[in-house]
Structure 1
C-alpha cells in the first residue's frame, strides 16, 4: 500500500477524509468477522472448512476498533 495509494486510503488528500469512512470501516470490520467464519482458509488433507472459533483478531487502530465491539455483542 505504501507508495501506491498515497493519502487516498483514508481520503482524497492528506488531512481530508472521505465523508463515509465510518461506514466503510464498519463494513470492513463486519466483513473480517464474516470471512473468518465462512471462508475455507485452513484447508489441508486432514481438515477442510472455515476456521470457526480458532481465530485471533488484532484490532490495532481506529479503523479496526469495531471488531471488538461486534465480537462482544454476539
Structure 2
C-alpha cells in the first residue's frame, strides 16, 4: 500500500486508515452504531466511536437529530 500511495502521490496510507474510513462512512450514511460495531468486530460501541473521523459538524448534526 505504501508503494501504491507513493505512485499516486498521496501521503502514506495504512490498512488501519481504511478501517477508519469504513467506519466513518457507515456512520455518515446513518447506519446505527450497534450495526457498525458488529461489522467492525468491536466488543464495545465506545471503541467503534473512537474510529469516527467525521467532522465535528456532522457529529453535531447527528446529536441534533435526537432533539428533533
Q: Give the alignment's TM-score, normalised by structure 1.
A: 0.33
Q: Max radius of gyration: which structure? A: 1
Q: Which has the higher contact order (CA 8 A, sep 6+)?
A: 2
Give the TM-score normalised by the residue count of structure 2.
0.35
